[in-house]
Amino acid sequence: MFVFKAAVVGAGTMGGQIAQTIAAAGIPVVLKDVKQELVDHGLAEARTVTAGQVARMVKKGKLTEEQAAAHVDEVVGRIHGTTTYEGFGDVDFVIEAVPERMDIKQAVFAELDAATPGHAILASNTSSLSISEIADATLRPDKVVGFHYFYPAAVMPLIELVEGEETGAETLQVATAFAQTIRKQPITCAEVPGFVVNRILNSAMSEIWRAQEEQGLSIKKIDEGVGAANVMPMGPYFLINLLGLDTVLHVAEHLAQAYGPDRFYVPQTMRDLVADGKLGAKSGGDGFYSPSGEPNVDAAGEPDAEELVELLTLKTFLEAALVLEEGVATHRDIDFGMMAGAGLDPTRGLLPPFLKADVTGLDVVLERLEAAVERHGDRFEPPTILRRLVAQGRLGQSSGQGFYSYPRPDAEQPAGDDAVVKLETRGDIGIAWLANGQMNSISPQVVDHLGLVFDAVQDRGLRAMIVASSNPFLFCAGADIKAFTQMDESGGRALLDGAHGLLRSFERSRVVTIAAVNGLAFGGGCELAMACDVRLAARSAIFGQPEIKLGIIPGFGGTQRLPRLVGLNKALEMNLGGDPISASEAYDFGLVNRLVEDHELFDTALMWARRFAEQAPLAVEQIKVVSGQADLDDGIEAEKQGFEAVFGSEDGKEGISAFLGKRRARWQGR
């Protein structure tokens, strides 16, 4: 299943922005609503958003005014407005963005079921309603999925992919690939009230709302105190003013009904303001604050900002842990969702809940929760997962393991203090930590340093080596394309020879290599993992060989090792299509040996390494050498020649230029 044409039903501000994100990715999209004036509003919103985006490019000198105007027309020209289902007969992916009422959504989905081809995926942008119940209105519940944008849709990078009771694995895979195509960052979650981000945010905000009303606190002083503590992007009441009081109230009441009012407090002040039509920015700025910035809540009490921040922080972690324990989402996806959907950006000092707990110390968090139980009752009862990790001695960053694993590199490094691959030794096991910036891309320096680390592992007689990422959220995003483009032909050939030589040495050595893939493993990252003897994947890991989209081919063994692992048919699909596959699908096809819960990945890798380290080294070496006797060297040589041929071609240069310029490539076949 591929998406060549999409549709959006509901042309409000959100619907118009959703259509714009699709059109901006080069995909034609139909935008439908019941009245032409609503359709026109959605089209105008798409134009406004696009104009704002290109205006920034003009300001940076990347586009002229004429080029910017042409670009706006080109993007908006891909959006076809309509009041009927004409044009839906050949769509591949539909996103519904109508009001949050089940009867309306079911009626729309029943109409979509009849108006779209049988292969089309029907997605809902609902922020709280049941995907399974929506799917009941169709004859294709396996092709119905939640596709929850965050407001403003054109800006916020997160998409929550919500799996209904009958949502198919292929549907989730296509939805993931589509989200990435439109330059969004998807996380996957089970169907529960509030999904992930809204549930955690509302649980945490409940403590602020409760304290404000019970103690008569000034909302302005709360915003100032919480904002100054740098635990969220802005003060809580100011944030709600931007999001819309009616929207937040709807979700808050839904969560209170689902989980109970003690855990999810709903403030009467918000109910009263919504009843008076004071909705925040969407009603001229009049909400918790007046348009002039004065509070609309008559309370002047002085808040204890430190206590409010403590309640907010603890409840954020606690609800996140409950989401994890219930199996709704992985801890990586929860943290990633809070980063991309709630603005908890580590580069600004705002840490998502599990990362923050690791940095604070899980034993410290446990003590603080136990103290909160004494002050505020059972709603702060520490979660089982926290008690378990503390009992294991996994205390977070200080101990090297908590919810995430953290490098504790040896004092002396084979590649020096500034190494982008660091060696950690634990007994007769080595850990090669990839540490090349945010994307962990494979550059010539990474290849050199990984080689030095592997040499040290062999020289010291270590029996097993784990290849792991120092980035909690991804394994390796692929080759450093910019570094490749700066190399001449001889330098490129030397890099390919060196990389292939290193990876082949992995396969011939008496050291057993284990790839602990914690997240995204694309291109060279996937190829590095394939060269290891064993691949363990976290459930949130994603694998892919996207080189074809750049007009080139895999260069580090992807055309040779992939078919040996998954079979020729699946390998051709992955290499020719370039789309990612989930960890679950990777396991089904044999690309990975085991699927592991995200927070148990590193411990599992250590256990496998200890087991392999017990085996006879000579026997290990011979098993590996004999097992790999197929014509891999011939295949690698053919791949190197093919890579050089396409990398230096016009199409190869165009594909890389388009990738770096974030535009669609124009292939010429030469």
Q: Which residues are catalytic?
A: 148
Nearest in space to 469 (alpha carbons), one of 521, 532, 533, 504: 521
Both tokens of residue 638? Answer: 């053919």
Say how many C-beta atoms besides its own lie within 10 A of residue 485's C-beta.
Answer: 14
Enumerate long-range contacts of 286-295, CB under 8 Å, 24 or more apart: 287/240, 287/241, 287/244, 287/245, 288/219, 288/237, 288/238, 288/240, 288/241, 288/245, 289/220, 289/237, 289/238, 289/241, 295/218, 295/219, 295/220, 295/237
Residue by residue, what is the 3-state secondary structure of 292-329? Answer: CCCECCCCCECCCHHHHHHHHHHHHHHHHHHHHHCCCC
Q: How far, in Å, are 23, 59, 79, 663 from residue 74 at the CA level?
A: 9, 20, 9, 13
Q: How far apart are CA 53 and CA 482, in angstroms?
A: 25
The rounded distance, in Å, linking the Cα atoms of 329 and 176 is 15
What is the CA 409 to chain-centroid distance, rounded?
Answer: 27
**What phi and psi, each to the nearest 5 degrees, are found at residue 35?**
-130, 145
Which tokens sit at 509? 């050595």
* Structure tokens that stand for 340 in this block: 């991309």
**636: phi then psi, degrees, rounded to nearest 5:** -60, -45
Extract the tokens encoding 83. Answer: 């009041």
Which has the closest alpha carbon to 195: 92, 323, 74, 293? 323
Residue in 646, 644, 650 with CA at minimum distance from that of residue 493: 644
CA–CA gap between residue 486 and residue 492 (Å, rounded): 9
Identify each DSSP E strand in 308-450 by its residue range.
Answer: 421-426, 429-434
Strands 158-163 and 144-149, sheet pairing? antiparallel
